[in-house]
Structure 1
Amino acid sequence: MISAAFLEKYVTREEIWDMIFSMPGIEDMGQEEINKMIDDKKAHQQTDQVFLDTHGNQTWLVMEGDWGGQIYLSVPIRYVGEDVGEQQLQYLLSRIDRQAWSVNEGDGRSLYLRHTNKAESGVSGGMGGGLLFDGLWLYGEFGPMTVEVIRQALQLAEGTAVKIGDS
């Protein structure tokens, strides 16, 4: 599963702190202890891990281009290798974006995490949007070579299901 460090940028602090307040024993802590925990970097890492452990099965990595006009891919974060970091994700996104929208020169591309408890649901976006399912979903214009590049870049486990198109 993707590393807890990745969450620093893509999950809001409010979502993470909601996790803190659902941690066992938090109700027995005083305000001073909670404030200390909020300032403690180790606590941030622990709450990030709690988020992953609790919501990893319900959270997808989504990459898009053209300001949401095209959803490129989605994959449950639990399938993304824990050594995959921000730099690798941004590089992969730039490669996919150049293939799909070479005229944009990088404008309008983004990646984000989508949390939902509804597997097989959609991702809103132009050109038919995208699909969240238990595996890697790719927009229809991408072929087998792109699948292999993405599989390697995301360090997806062998046997991870792949679906191309039909959002």
Structure 2
Amino acid sequence: MERKKDENNEMAVIPEHHSPVRHILNEANGQPNNQFIDSFKKALDTPDAYVIMEGDYGGQIYLSCPMKLVNCSEETLHTLLKDLDTIAWGCNEGEGRGIYFEKHFPGDGIGGGMGGGDVEEGLWIHNEFIDLQLYDEIHEVISGNKERLTK
């Protein structure tokens, strides 16, 4: 796929706060990339903001959750991402994991591998973590009642 060049004939760079997979999908489908929010703080103050965690370079969406339900610190979210990534893609040794803040509405889909993800009014997690019976524990971390996963 040929990347667009800017006015200086340089290759466009995907901003760090964009999921590369969703950024490229938007470009390929002629959609704007205006759903991305560039910081945890801005996401806390943005209506309809969600935190989205992914692994394997967007090959698996781990979770989505409205920011209005996030009562933990940004550091705790990053620890949760590291724990989920170790469970799902430990072979990647931390490469390819990402946490993104995006504007969405319940019913939206989240582009990504392994079925992508869903946007719900509450916490959504990938079936792999449901099968491991981690929903309640993940919810406790996001709610600020736990520092990290213990299972």
Q: Cα distance, 1:11 vs. partner?
A: 3.2
Question: Which one has a bigger Cα radius of gyration?
Answer: 1
Partner of 1:124: 111
3-state SS of paired residue (2:61) = strand
- Output one character per residue of 1:6-55: Cα deviation in whole Å (capped at 9) or x when no partner: xxx88338xxxxxxxxxxxxxxxxxxxxxxxxxxxxxxx8xx59x72xx3
Name the structure with the higher helix share: 1
Q: Residue type of the partner of 1:148?
A: D
8 Å Cα contact 1:79/1:156 also seen in 2: no
- Output one character per residue of 1:104-155: Cα deviation in whole Å (capped at 9) or x when no partner: 1111001011113x32110000111000010110111112631122112111
> What is the aligned residue count?
109
Partner of 1:112: 100
Partner of 2:61: 71
Partner of 1:33: none
Runs of 5+ unmatched residues, structure 2: 1-16, 18-35, 146-151
TM-score by length of 2: 0.64
Aligned ranges 1:1-167 → 2 under 5 Å: 11-12=37-38, 48=42, 52=45, 55-56=46-47, 58-81=48-71, 84-116=72-104, 118-143=105-130, 145-155=133-143
Identity over aligned residues, as a percent?
Answer: 36
Q: Aligned partners of 1:152 and 1:140: how far apart in 2?
A: 18
3-state SS of paired residue (1:142) = helix
8 Å Cα contact 1:59/1:113 also seen in 2: yes
3-state SS of paired residue (1:148) = helix
Q: Cα distance, 1:102 vs. partner?
A: 1.2
Q: Cα distance, 1:65 vs. partner?
A: 0.2
